[in-house]
Structure 1
């Protein structure tokens, strides 16, 4: 029997939809809403593929990547996020993720990531230079990643008030 795909997302609605969508495609899937549950299910079911949300109820999904890989070093992990940045994409791949996709995402892109195929839109690079706002967003994301998602430490490193940083992070990322 094929091991299930593990969907790790703290939004139970999105988690359930993705699990059902994968199952309807003939791929067994199970869902976890936090890191501890994900690790338990990965061990119990011999999971070899996982879809991992970057933000799990305030915890960085990046911290879960090496722990999943400790269970199975060949596990293929696709990161999904609503707040994509270059810094977190690079960090996710450094930690062992197979692919990094931004929401909303088509199921075909997720399946292609598991099949070692790069979606064509992922291969495109922007023709324009990044705006100042986007550069600021990328810098904040890089420093946040360096501080393992700790808002207070990131605010200190950026010499910014913690509330100001929280307001900036609550906004959707700016376009390039």
Structure 2
């Protein structure tokens, strides 16, 4: 990878306003920014450009998962630093993103500093403090509800059916912990 290509950043995000804001922020840090909102646009960009960095939203245009983009980008260049950004964070998708080639996984809202720090992250080099605190049942339940909501495109009835609970019970749980 040449020196000028190392500062090329591909942002894969279907929220145009967020992509524009993030892109401007990285341009101020001397990155050349490319923006795509779908897997097809990513494929087209890779024919002409070789970015060294990528920020990929987990949920992009249509029903395409950002994980498909991570896989494509990693296949194109295994050395590319890929950070997955998502408003639908879960342990399962974080593990899958890393397996497919992402160097880091961040929950929104994350700023440019967070993302740039994630580019510098190398697996196994960060000291991780281990705790004896187990994940609470409520947290596990909320992660499962949230993941199922995302899978069903936030269809409450279908989510309740898949979780095996009454729709009103799910609605009450969602009222207590609003999705932002």
Scaled to the shorter chain, the TM-score interval is 0.7 to 0.9
Q: Runs of at least 4 residues of structure 1 off by over 4 A? A: 122-128, 140-145, 149-162
Q: Against the structure 1 CA distance between its residues 115 and 55, is the aligned structure 2 distance closer, same or farther, given a 3 Å change threshold?
A: same
Q: Against the structure 1 CA distance between its residues 126 and 104, is the aligned structure 2 distance closer, same or farther, given a 3 Å change threshold?
A: farther
Q: Equivalent residue for 2:27?
A: 23
Q: Which runs of 5+ in 1 are unaligned?
A: none
1:43 counterpart = 2:47: yes
Q: Equivalent residue for 1:105?
A: 110
**Secondary structure in 2 matching 1:30:** strand
Q: TM (normalized to structure 1)? A: 0.74
Query: C-alpha deviations, 1:147-175, integer Å up to 9, x for none?
Result: xx57799887645689x69x96xx538xx
Q: Equivalent residue for 2:5?
A: 2
Q: TM (normalized to structure 2)? A: 0.73
1:136 counterpart = 2:141: yes
**How many aligned residue pairs are there?**
166
1:64 counterpart = 2:80: no
Q: Which runs of 5+ in 2 are unaligned?
A: none
Query: C-alpha deviations, 1:29-74, integer Å up to 9, x for none?
Result: 1111111112211331111210000111332111221111221122
**Secondary structure in 1 matching 2:5:** coil
Of 77, 87, 93, 2:82 maps to 77
Q: Against the structure 1 CA distance between its residues 39 and 125, is the aligned structure 2 distance closer, same or farther, given a 3 Å change threshold?
A: farther
